A and B are shown apart, each in its own frame.
Chain A
Amino acid sequence: MLAQVIVSGVLISAIYALATTGFTLLYGVSGILNLAHGTTLATAGMVAWYLGGHGVLGPGGALLAGIGAGMAVGLATFGLIVRPLQRFLKLSSTDEHVFMLVATLLWTIVLQEALALVFGDVPVSIPQLVPGVVDIIGVRTPVSSVLVAAVAWGVLALLWFYVARTRSGQRVLAASINPRGLVLCGISLGHIQRAVWALYGALAGLAGVLIAMILGVSPSGGMDLTATAFSIVVLGGLGSVGGTLIAANLIGFVETATAYLLGPSLRSLPALLILVGVLYFRPQGLFGRR
């Protein structure tokens, strides 16, 4: 039983971590909680499924198409929803938060309906990268799941490298810490925001395709994905990438242990209770800055 909880927990946590990092990065840099996050993931998964499943593209091509779809949705969200609201309404920062929440919520409904119209509101799954199973400490595990976990952690390591070691990554970091200072240094905040939305889209696109491979996605399942991402990010501390990674593992393991010990239908309950506790005693989240 312990071995099963550990193996399943590690695998599911890796996907959670990858699926929420973009969400928290976006909040850190631009202060926006994108409620269309889950639908962005679902769009990438559905596009990859459609192009891969109809013989248009091979598995690698479908993966790239999914990442492209994620970036397209990310940039569309920025260009059609976020940017016009910031530019034309001249809202106070509190009002802007509320407007962004409502606007991205409405946007997710638009995206969801569009997906259902194009692909049908059906759950779909992408074929595994590598079929077959391996034995890990006595637990039979699909090779693809192990590969997906490895890819997820690899991409997260690359992301860390980008932010910590490259010039453009340092600008993104600076934008999240002190945007005003960045503007004073003569760097365009607009460019950085666009780059962050594209990066966010690519991360969400990759995560969406991997989720479609392991768990399956559907247009109406986008909201559930947003809810999971939201709980993880609030628990870890809004805008804290490190906090998000720890929270993703915490939630992944608690959910898995609950499913094994108490029953699968209670899976999401303890994580929500922890979330309520954290909001009560430490509202900024476990590792939050504000």
Chain B
Amino acid sequence: MLDHVRRLAWLSLSALTLAAAVTAPAFADEPPIRIGVMAKFAQINGAAILNGATLAAEEINAAGGVKGRRIELIQYDDQGSASDATLAFQRAVRQDHVQAVVGTFLSEIAITLAPWAARLKVPYIVTGAGADQLGKLVHDNWPAYRYVFRTILPASSTAQGVCDSVRDLAVGQMGYKSGVLMTEDAAWTRSYDEFLASCLPAAGLKLAAPVKVATDTTDFTPIFQKIEATKADVIVTGVGIIGNKPVVQWANQQVPMLLMGYNAQAGASAFWKETSGATQGLVTFTAASEDSALTPKTVPFAQAYLKRFGTTPAAHSFATYDAIYLLKNAVERGDSVEADAIVSALEKADYVGASGRIVFQGPQDPLTHDMRFGEGYVTGVAIQWQNGKQVTVWPPAVATSKLVLPPFVPQRR
């Protein structure tokens, strides 16, 4: 009996080994391609960046790697500090010899790292920070800064998406006439505010005086009461660092105005738990969503991500996932892992990723090496939180549901 069991065990073990040998790709002796991933991983956006990179690397390695070479991700936690990020970037290049770096959530950090990418001549794809200044820096310091790319939408493109979704949903669908712009005091909102201040009135929404919120604000009561006194119909937000507090207090205080615009943290499903469901009814613009087939890769990616990490991908996950595939694509097309070959291949990239068709702006365009935005390229979507799920409500072509107002928000004043 014991012999029988032992034989069975050996047989199963041999079968498993054989199966592993057949399914796992056999990598040549060549060293792996090293890619640094950098963000503050304990935060929702940093985790989104790391998860996006991890999933892409796992998929690529399972499918045979890049020209027979495995992708090895090396993590650098920047702790949300520019000085930590600078040291980590230098270590990544000089000591760990990475071929590229992806990530970074805070614009202040991305702006600090851009000159280092140029000095150390290493491709750096920003996948979380949205300040327009970064694209302008690359434009103004061309060709030295040609190593810097970005696969998350710059603030002005996000602002364009927010403006278009407000025009169609708040003005068109709900018949709202007036709004207040409430944004956090950070580098990325400068261009965001500027754009929306002219775009929203043109879209049919009269704007009251804008409200700028410090990123360490804890009590939003005075802010909401001030905004309510303007008798506007909708609050158009621009928040990334303070994603949670305004949303929870808006719901608790039952502020009778629709909360929409851009909230960097509300794009991931973990946000429902963090706000204990207070995010019900919130509308935010984001790169893509799990239920909208922007490209053939969007929904499969979102489903694989959910299965692997137990949460839906945020905009930064889409951006980082696409960035790793773009690097693979560039290495294959340029047939080299040398920095300059990767950079020139990226410049010529025309790649359909999970978030849309990615083509980078050139040195003559205003935001060099940012993605082209709009019809036929990357467009983004607006999602609304409805009963624990993110539902796509804009653009009409991919929307899966209509806008539903929270019970405390009136139809129209």
Contacts and interface: CB of A to CB of B under 8 A. Distances in A.
Interface of A: 4, 8, 12, 49, 52-53, 116-117, 120-128, 132-133, 139-142, 144-145, 214-216, 219, 221, 224, 256, 259-260, 264-265, 267
Interface string B35-70: 000001011100100000000000000000000000
B234 to A, nearest CB: 18
A12 B218 CA distance: 11
9 contacts: A4-B225, A8-B225, A123-B274, A126-B276, A127-B276, A142-B254, A221-B218, A256-B222, A265-B212
B12 to A, nearest CB: 37
Given A256-B222, A260-B222, A264-B214, 5 more contacts: A8-B225, A123-B243, A145-B252, A215-B218, A267-B214
Given A122-B244, A125-B278, A265 B213 contact: yes
Nearest to A218: B244
Given A259-B223, A265-B213, A123 B185 contact: no
Contacts of B213: 264-265
Contact of B216 (A139, A224, A256): A224
Q: Which of A132, A141, A260, A264 has the most B CB atoms < 10 Å from its CB? A: A264
B42 A120 contact: yes
B336 interface: no
Contacts of B242: 123
B222 A215 contact: no
Given A117-B42, A216-B244, A128 B217 contact: no
Given A4-B225, A265-B212, A125 B254 contact: no
A116 to B, nearest CB: 4
A211 B219 CA distance: 10
Contacts of B223: 259, 264
B362 interface: no
Contacts of B216: 224
A120 B249 CA distance: 21
Contacts of B243: 123
Interface residues of B, number: 36
B253 interface: yes
Contacts of B220: 264
Given A133-B254, A259-B222, A267 B244 contact: no
Nearest to B273: A53
A243 to B, nearest CB: 23
Q: Which of A53, A216, A256 has the most B CB atoms < 10 Å from its CB? A: A216
Given A123-B245, A215-B245, A264 B222 contact: yes
Contacts of B273: 53
B275 interface: yes
A144 B252 contact: yes
A125 B274 contact: yes
Contact of B276 (A125, A139, A141): A125
A265 B44 contact: no
B185 A265 contact: yes
Contacts, number: 98
B406 to A, nearest CB: 12
A264 B217 contact: yes
A224 B216 CA distance: 9
Contacts of A52: 276
A127 to B, nearest CB: 4
Contacts of A8: 219, 221-222, 225
Given A8-B222, A121-B42, A133 B274 contact: no
A128 B252 contact: yes
Contacts of A267: 214, 217, 219, 222
Interface string B220-236: 11110110000000000
B160 to A, nearest CB: 27
A125 B222 contact: no
B137 interface: no
Nearest to B252: A142
Contacts of B254: 132-133, 140, 142
Interface in B265-285: 270, 273-278
Nearest to A132: B254
Interface in B233-267: 242-245, 248-249, 252-254
Q: Which of B42, B185, B226, B275 has the most A CB atoms < 10 Å from its CB? A: B42
Contacts of A140: 253-254
B252 A121 contact: no
B157 to A, nearest CB: 26
Lowest 9 A-B CB distances belong to which pairs? A121-B42, A259-B222, A265-B214, A116-B42, A123-B244, A125-B248, A127-B276, A215-B218, A142-B252
B222 A4 contact: yes
A142 B222 contact: no
Q: Which of A53, A123, A128, A256 has the most B CB atoms < 10 Å from its CB? A: A123
Given A8-B221, A142-B252, A120 B276 contact: no
Contacts of A125: 244-245, 248, 274-276, 278
Contacts of B219: 8, 12, 215, 256, 259, 267
B81 to A, nearest CB: 12
Nearest to B246: A216
A47 to B, nearest CB: 14
A233 to B, nearest CB: 18
Contact of A120 (B47, B185, B244, B278): B47
B18 to A, nearest CB: 40
A264 B212 CA distance: 8
Contacts of B40: 121
A271 B44 CA distance: 32
Contacts of A214: 252
B253 A142 contact: yes
A216 B248 contact: yes
A256 B225 CA distance: 12
Contacts of A256: 219, 222
Contacts of A127: 276-278
B210 to A, nearest CB: 12
A126 B252 CA distance: 11
Contacts of B217: 264-265, 267
A260 B274 contact: no
Contacts of B225: 4, 8, 139, 260
Contacts of B185: 265
B193 to A, nearest CB: 14
